[in-house]
Amino acid sequence: MNNKGMILVLSLFIILILAVLSSSFLYKQVNQSYLSNRYADSVQALWAAEGGLQAARDDNLDQSFVSGTLGSGSYLANITRIGTSNYYEIVSRGTAGGVVRTVKAVVSTRDVDASKFKYGLESNVDIQLKGASTVWGENTTQPVPPKTHDPDYYKENSIFSFADLFGFSTTEIRGLSTVYNQTFPSGNFTGINWVIAPGSKFTGDVYGSGILIVEGDFRIAGTVAFDGIIYVIGELDMSGTSFVSGAILAESAANVDTTVTGTADIEHNTTKIQTALDNVAYRSPRIVSWQEAR
């Protein structure tokens, strides 16, 4: 009888030990699962915070905040301009599964300056002004006399740099542009447009505003009505009816003149140049500093 009692006690003791071991194993499994989920949420929250930082950099610096979702996380990025400088502080908070992570960054906009565009018409080769063409600007006597070629507002054999003028390389600007191959945008277009020029003289019309980059020879016999900046990487030959308010620049081969004829009215207008540059002023600002806030 005593032996049976001892066996029962021993059995209960063994069961108790197994129960404790099972509970410990279960606790470790639950804890490991919690830690794994917590780590995944933490990584997702950081990605969301980084996504908020990038969303603020994507042409949103003129807003006070941006918000959104990224995967299973969400972000809220507050944007503050530092004084009147070109520097902005972005504080982006990412949240996922109850985990919050915050990153802070200081970014700066590109050096975009309308005053670098000093002329209504500027070329690195000789300029031939023919027909009823006029070139004038803010300080020209009003009303503008016919066939006015105000020397203060056009410059031939000039030295200028695309990257210096725009604050971006040609590759970067093309990446920000709507690209047209062998044709021009139709209708009244806006923004940043990049045209790979047709091989023959273009006889259609060009109406729009913003920044127009022409890769190749811009030889046009149609009507041009444009507010902003036209930059030609090739020959410029305008022979139709044109009114451009802003600036035209031609980066041509050394043995080809820039020619403007027909009825062309080119006005240097700093305000419209600045409005055109606003299309790139807030794009892809540089990150000056970055840190994760604790």
pTM, entire model = 0.76
- Rounded percentage of the chain residues whose pLDDT exceeds 70: 89
Q: pLDDT class for 1, splitting at 50, 70, 90? A: low
Asked if residue 144 has pLDDT above 60, the reply is yes
Domain residue extents for the chain: 2-108, 114-280
| pLDDT of res. 159 | 95
pLDDT tens for each residue of 232-261:
999 999 998 999 999 999 999 878 899 999
Q: Mean per-residue pLDDT for 254-270?
A: 91
pLDDT tens for each residue of 64-100:
999 999 988 999 999 999 998 889 999 999 999 889 9
E strands in the chain: 65-70, 73-81, 87-96, 99-108, 121-123, 127-129, 134-136, 154-155, 178-181, 188-189, 192-196, 206-215, 218-220, 224-233, 236-238, 241-250, 258-260, 263-268, 286-293
pLDDT tens for each residue of 168-192:
999 999 999 999 999 999 899 999 9
3-state class (DSSP) for residue 110: coil
| pLDDT of res. 8 | 65
